Amino acid sequence: GLITTVLEMAFAGNCGLELALTGEAEAIPFLFNEELGLVLECRLDELDHVQEILAAAEVDNILLGNSTVKKQIRIQYNGDLVLDEDMRVLRSGMGGDQLSAGTPPDEPGLR
């Protein structure tokens, strides 16, 4: 799902995330949904160009947020803070079966 994808990107990049997501489903089903999609990171100064390329190819896109030097994962969903945790804590505690299986973890930081 989306949460697995963005967390794995943060773990690999050794960085934090600031995401502001919106949707109609409840937060947990939305974050762990396994619909087909692509998460693409680009530099902010290239965002308009990347969006133009995607639009020309008729690929819908939305801006999820940004990566940060601060190693904090902050995810808001419909304005509610659903995850606010140090990336290193998540990487050490969630790097195993739960993420790879795409199931919601029993992590206190996930609301």
Q: What is the pLDDT of residues 59-100, one digit of tens each?
A: 999 999 999 999 999 999 999 999 999 999 999 986 544 444
Instruction: Give the pTM.
Output: 0.79
Alpha helices in the chain (DSSP H): 2-13, 27-32, 47-56, 87-93, 97-101
- Residue 111 falls inside a structural domain: no
Report the alpha-carbon distance of residue 27 to residue 31 in Å, rounded: 6
- Residue 16 falls inside a structural domain: yes
Report the alpha-carbon distance of residue 35 to residue 15 in Å, rounded: 25
Tens-place pLDDT, residues 27-57? 999 999 988 899 999 999 999 999 999 999 9
- Residue 73 falls inside a structural domain: yes
- Residue 90 falls inside a structural domain: yes
- Residue 107 falls inside a structural domain: no
- Residue 106 falls inside a structural domain: no
- Residue 78 falls inside a structural domain: yes
Q: Is 26 helix (H, G, I), strand (E, B) or coil?
A: coil
Say what the pLDDT of residue 95 is: 55
Report the alpha-carbon distance of residue 17 to residue 69 in Å, rounded: 9
Say what the pLDDT of residue 101 is: 46
Please say if the pLDDT value at position 109 is more than 60: no
Total domains, the chain: 1
Q: Which residues constitute the domain of residue 8?
A: 2-101
Report the alpha-carbon distance of residue 44 to residue 8 in Å, rounded: 21
